[in-house]
Amino acid sequence: KAGVTQTPRYLIKTRGQQVTLSCSPISGHRSVSWYQQTPGQGLQFLFEYFSETQRNKGNFPGRFSGRQFSNSRSEMNVSTLELGDSALYLCASSPRGGALSSGANVLTFGAGSRLTVL
């Protein structure tokens, strides 16, 4: 079955612009999580959506937002881009939402969208 698809794969923006990234989860997966990956901070959790509702949110400013559609596809938006927003943005889907603590609910990641802010 098809994996997690993220678009676009690469994009370049300038400071102050806004960007929208898209994620199509594995068919049947209802939970989508977003992570930001940078060399200095590693992977940091942005938010998780399940059945069109945001269930968890990381410690990022309000410029970072997301949504999920009825077909489970998700988008994230970053407004008023800053140089520090340059990163690889990873989307991951899982069959169901909620706690990953048990280990039973695992994440499948997409290849990411690499954003460069000039």
Partner 1 sequence: TQLLEQSPQFLSIQEGENLTVYCNSSSVFSSLQWYRQEPGEGPVLLVTVVTGGEVKKLKRLTFQFGDARKDSSLHITAAQPGDTGLYLCAGGRGSQGNLIFGKGTKLSVKP
Contact call for residue 25 and partner 1 (CB under 8 A): no
Contact call for residue 8 and partner 1 (CB under 8 A): no
Size of the site for partner 1 (CB under 8 A): 30
Contact call for residue 98 and partner 1 (CB under 8 A): yes
Residues 100 and 78: their CA atoms lie apart, in Å, by: 26
Contact call for residue 80 and partner 1 (CB under 8 A): no
Nearer to partner 1, 3 or 16 (CB): 3
The one-letter amino acid code at 71 reads N
Q: How far is the CB of 52 from partner 1 (least distance, A)?
A: 15
Instruction: Kindly list the distances between the CA atom of residue 40 and the CA atoms of 8, 14, 31, 47, 57, in Å, as whole numbers in the listed order.
Output: 23, 21, 27, 20, 21
Q: How far is the CB of 87 from partner 1 (least distance, A)?
A: 13
> How many other C-beta atoms are found inside a 10 Å radius of the C-beta of residue 54?
13
